[in-house]
Amino acid sequence: MSEIIFIVENSDEGGYTAKALGHSIFTEGETLDELKENIKDAVKCHFDLTQINTDLHCF
């Protein structure tokens, strides 16, 4: 899998949202740590992966 870039923003309801550029992947989390875990889970589900072997960088 190549790089997937996520745009992370503050949510109006509190917490954070993340949207992938070029893919239909969207998730949210109350904290940045929770958001990172939710991003990993969303990518695994979207691509039917069992493991992600890359670092996660959010912008």
Q: pLDDT tens digits for 2-34?
A: 788 899 999 999 999 999 999 999 999 999 999
Those residues whose C-beta lies under 8 Å from the C-beta of residue 25, and which sit 6 or more positions away, are 4, 6, 19, 39, 42, 43, 46
- According to the model, what pLDDT value does residue 52 have? 63
Confidence of residue 56 (pLDDT cuts 50, 70, 90): low
- According to the model, what pLDDT value does residue 59 have? 58
Residue ranges per domain, the chain? Answer: 6-47
Please provide residue 39's backbone torsions phi and psi, each rounded to the nearest 5 degrees.
Answer: -65, -45
**Prediction pTM value:** 0.80
- According to the model, what pLDDT value does residue 47 have? 83
